[in-house]
A and B are shown apart, each in its own frame.
Chain A
């Protein structure tokens, strides 16, 4: 069973649309991670830089689940906000070796958190400190302090190290996210 179907079943909510927004700088590994979450036979061999965004749908008996894979390139980042309104969860992917651009990632994150559609909502945010397999990667603890995640108010968040190529760390993250989304959606009802 692919991780997404597992996630959907964990959610256990009937006829609900759960939208998850994947954001983060270009080259951080968003598409690679989403690809790894798909059932094995649906996985792509080559992942190329995303142009604009792509939508992936995952379904099981009770749920339709939509992942918005946004492009992280500078010129497409202004597209992210168009999907803020409808999203139930956010996955923010960071290349933990791209020290040079931590400041840029931090800025994009604070713009997201400051956005009218996000600011007052209790949307869970999952951070992947991706590319943990590479030698010069920064630990999730260090990354968390560099991005000042402790300053995030009124939103549940979680950070875990991941490897988009092997899938390591992904289930820890997605399980956390689905639990959070589930309780959030339940509260709404």
Chain B
């Protein structure tokens, strides 16, 4: 669902939201933009819809609330921008969509050009191994062992080698090696983030370069006309958020938030950067700038503000975890603020460090965009997570109320974070199924930057007359920072009365009795009779 609201300047006032009930999509802030793509003064909303994450990925262009154009995207989109690539009249900007190793460029809403990231150097040992396979000097067992050794040493392998190592079956391995041994080995990376940088003029419709961050820890600046790489800059970690200002030909700043929790500033002339780095305590979830000031949201439920030199100005503790952030720059009233979406379905607006407004939404906001839309300045666009669509697809054969119950059960998830700075953990649990058997998934994430979490346990507290747990005690392996770990158990509802209860999840440290985090899961009602009864009925029918 998309929700629209308007900033009206006076008293930090926002107008009633317009909800578009038909728009069903799933997207992120980086994949939303507003632009006058048809040069008719009616600004369109451009969204890369992530679909389910594996299929149904589309570039969608909305005129008002009407979907006016749709293009399928092959791979998961990671960024959408519009930019002027020429000086032709009428001044229609092109749309760039980052997806996998490609930038797809659309002009006049039609596919126009595909840019592919330059391939990277393949490790010579890895290349030699595949060469020997080709010449039948080594067999797949040797290949496998050697590649495994390289991976263990931390060598960055090609996708082909990684896929090969994933295969379990000998015949599969053989078939795979045979299929690929004659095609040249390439190492390709993917784009993680996309931005634009004006080339030599600052005018609103001046030609812009595309700036891309990649999984191979680089930032590229592309020429807008020839699509050649103008500059490559290396980073110590993978860039995830970019904030670009200035002119490529004169002077520019690219502020980059990286997966290692550091923020780097790249300037004209930089090739390798470690200087002027801001070290965060936790992973970044959003990066924005107002003038020179840097605003960054982190996974430990905080919003920080830094000067361009990297000096911290303040930190605000947020009441829930941040899903995304955006900047409000409302020129008619000179109003600038940071807008932050939270997992508790609230959207907070901060002027400097002061909370000036809260907008409540029906669900968690995953994408935010503020700007001119249609003919109206100051439009705020909020996209809400649209989980039910995927689930309805899976369940469309089941009765509607069952599906509803299922969606409700998913809604009943919670998202607590440990308040103990020594145990930076995030807990999230979901219930799936229509009953009486439910699958309960506990997701744990270590939100620290470098300290692994060890010796943890998951236990549950529940009414044992109502529920039977397959596994009510789970030992947690070491949690590497930043990764999400899922632990599953099955829960069977013992009652056929259609009643349900809360189940508590505790995360404990071995040897300590006070939980680090407690979560409450409200279990859905069983919509189906217990299996035993159904079986009996079926027998009666025959």
Q: Which residues of A contact B (CB under 8 A)?
A: 25-27, 49, 73-75, 98-104, 107, 136
Contact = CB atoms under 8 A, between A and B. Distances in A.
B375 A103 contact: no
Given A74-B332, A98-B64, A103 B374 contact: no
B376 A101 contact: yes
| Count class of interface residues, chain B | 10 to 19
Most chain B CB inside 10 Å of its own CB: which residue of A49, A73, A101, A136: A101
A99 B66 CA distance: 11
A74 B376 contact: yes
Interface of B: 4, 6, 8, 15-18, 41, 64-66, 332, 374-378
Contact of A104 (B6, B41, B66): B6
A107 B6 CA distance: 10
Contacts of B6: 103-104, 107
Contacts of A25: 375-376
Nearest to A74: B377
Contacts of A104: 6, 15, 376
Contacts of A136: 66
A99 B376 contact: no
Contacts, number: 39
Contacts of A101: 18, 374, 376
B16 A75 contact: no
Given A101-B18, A104-B6, 7 more contacts: A26-B375, A49-B41, A74-B376, A99-B65, A100-B374, A104-B15, A104-B376
Of all A-B residue pairs in the complex, the 6 with the closest CB atoms, nearest first, are: A103-B15, A103-B16, A74-B377, A100-B64, A26-B375, A107-B15
Contacts of B378: 74
A73 B4 CA distance: 19
Nearest to B372: A74
B65 A100 contact: yes
Most chain B CB inside 10 Å of its own CB: which residue of A98, A102, A104: A104
Nearest to A102: B18
A100 B8 contact: no
Contacts of A98: 64, 374
Contacts of A100: 4, 18, 64-65, 374
A27 B375 contact: yes
A98 B16 CA distance: 15
Contacts of B376: 25, 74, 101, 104
A151 to B, nearest CB: 15
A26 B332 CA distance: 17
Contacts of A74: 332, 375-378
A49 B375 CA distance: 11
A99 B63 CA distance: 12
Given A103-B6, A104-B15, A75 B332 contact: yes
A73 B332 CA distance: 12
Contacts of B332: 74-75
Contacts of B4: 100
Contacts of A107: 6, 8, 15
A49 B40 CA distance: 11
B374 to A, nearest CB: 6
A26 B40 CA distance: 14
A27 B41 CA distance: 11
A27 B374 CA distance: 10
A99 B375 contact: no
B268 to A, nearest CB: 35
Contacts of B377: 74-75
A167 B41 CA distance: 26
A48 to B, nearest CB: 11
A174 B377 CA distance: 32
A102 B64 CA distance: 12
A25 B15 CA distance: 15
Contacts of A102: 18
Most chain B CB inside 10 Å of its own CB: which residue of A26, A73, A103: A103
Nearest to A73: B375
Given A49-B41, A104-B6, A99 B18 contact: yes
20 contacts: A26-B375, A49-B41, A73-B375, A74-B332, A74-B375, A74-B377, A99-B64, A100-B4, A100-B65, A100-B374, A101-B18, A101-B374, A103-B6, A103-B16, A103-B17, A104-B15, A104-B376, A107-B6, A107-B8, A136-B66
A104 B4 CA distance: 11
A187 to B, nearest CB: 35
